[in-house]
A and B are shown apart, each in its own frame.
Chain A
Amino acid sequence: MSTVKVGKSLGWIGFLLLFHSAYSTYEHLSYLKAVDKIPNYMPIEITVECLVSVSICTIGIILAAGPLKPILIKHELAKKTIDEIDTHPSFNTFNHRGRLMKCF
């Protein structure tokens, strides 16, 4: 399996876990409200699940993004050929031998 696929599935797993921890928080808070307690702490399971899911998500996104590209413009320009840089298409003239060499 390619890294991109692994990354994508990790990303989804992380997202589902994150969603689950959010839902658990909501459940927990509504339970505390129902039994009339002050919500001043969160159970350690929910906190751990939330943190772990965020890290899984991050790893997944990094893997899915593919290889990184250099940020400096000189790397991009170094790949170009002279034909691509030294070209002035707006000044092309048409009275050349191209007309007679149609077959090429």
Chain B
Amino acid sequence: MAPFDYLGAIETLHELRKSGERKSGLVVSLGERLLRDYTGKLGDEVWPVYEQVFISALDQGNDALAKTCFEKLEKRFPGSPRVKILEGMKLEAEDKLDEALRLYDEILEKDDSNIAASKRRVAVFKAKGQDQQAMETLSKYLDDFYNDAEGWLELSDLYLKFHLYQQAAFCLEELILLQPQNHFYHLKFAEILYTSDTSDNITLALKEFCRVVELCEDHVRALYGIKLVNYYYFNYFNSVI
């Protein structure tokens, strides 16, 4: 068997932490080995790795691993709000959603600027299937923290679930204001406009698709979007004549 490449594993976990990708299987398989045999090599980075592996273990339903990670974190940081959030996530994974919600409310009562707790509340409403409530809570949260790109992205996804294209497009407009260089927001905005299907929106969608190609050459999805808009115009003019 090849020796375990622990430096590569540390690097991969770090990258995944930064990008926020949901690759729980990979994180658990690398993190389990890393935390078992190489805790000394991690130094101070061991705590974020414990947190990351804990969340991924919950995602995978690996309760034993989650428990060991949580115990380590709780012992090191007793009473920390960040660990409390993790405790709430554990309750969520055990399907004790009301208890989790109570815990988050408690954290928010003490410190109403706790961003993670506000976001987890939205996730609990989502898990309960109360999407309306989740949307209300999230928009209230975004009133206070309007520069949270992740929140706007989530809100647009929730709106799209209910085919509320106009509202979803508004969220994407906010995102474009926050990060005008990010081609993906332009792409999503264009696709929402194209889907909402009124001729004004189609013109704007074409503009946005072109903007994506400008920001990121050879973007196949955007090029295909331009093609679709062209079809739309072709049919539109044919029907007029």
A residues with a Cβ closer than 8 A to B are: 73-74, 77-78, 80, 82-95, 98-100, 102, 104
- Give Cα A100–Cα B183 distance, bound, in whole angstroms: 36
**Is B19 close to A, CB under 8 A?**
yes
Closest to B119 in A: A90
Question: Which residues from 158 to 208 on chain B have a C-beta closer than 8 Å to any C-beta of chain A?
Answer: 181-184, 188
User: In the complex, A90 Cα to B152 Cα: how many Å?
Assistant: 12
Known: A88-B150, A102-B60, A104-B25. A93 touches B92 (CB 8 A): yes
- The reply to whether B61 and A86 form a contact with Cβ atoms under 8 Å apart is no
Q: Tell me which residues across on chain B come within 8 A of A98, comparing CB atoms.
A: 24, 59-61
How far is A92 from B127 in the complex, measured between Cα atoms in Å? 9
Q: A87 near B119 (CB under 8 angstroms)?
A: no
Please count how many residues in chain B sit with their CB below 8 Å of the partner chain's CB atoms: 36
CA distance A13 to B120 in the complex (A): 59
- Least CB distance from B151 to A in Å reads 8
Instruction: Please name all residues of chain B whose beta carbon is closer than 8 Å to the beta carbon of A90 when the two chains form the complex.
Output: 116, 119-120, 123, 150
Question: How far apart are the CA atoms of A87 and B123 in the complex, in Å?
Answer: 14
How far is it, in angstroms, between the C-alpha of A91 and the C-alpha of B84 when the chains are bound? 16
Question: Once bound together, how far apart are the Cα atoms of A98 and B92, in whole Å?
Answer: 14
- Judged by a CB distance under 8 angstroms, whether B78 is at the interface is no
Which chain A residues border B150 with CB–CB below 8 Å?
Answer: 88-91
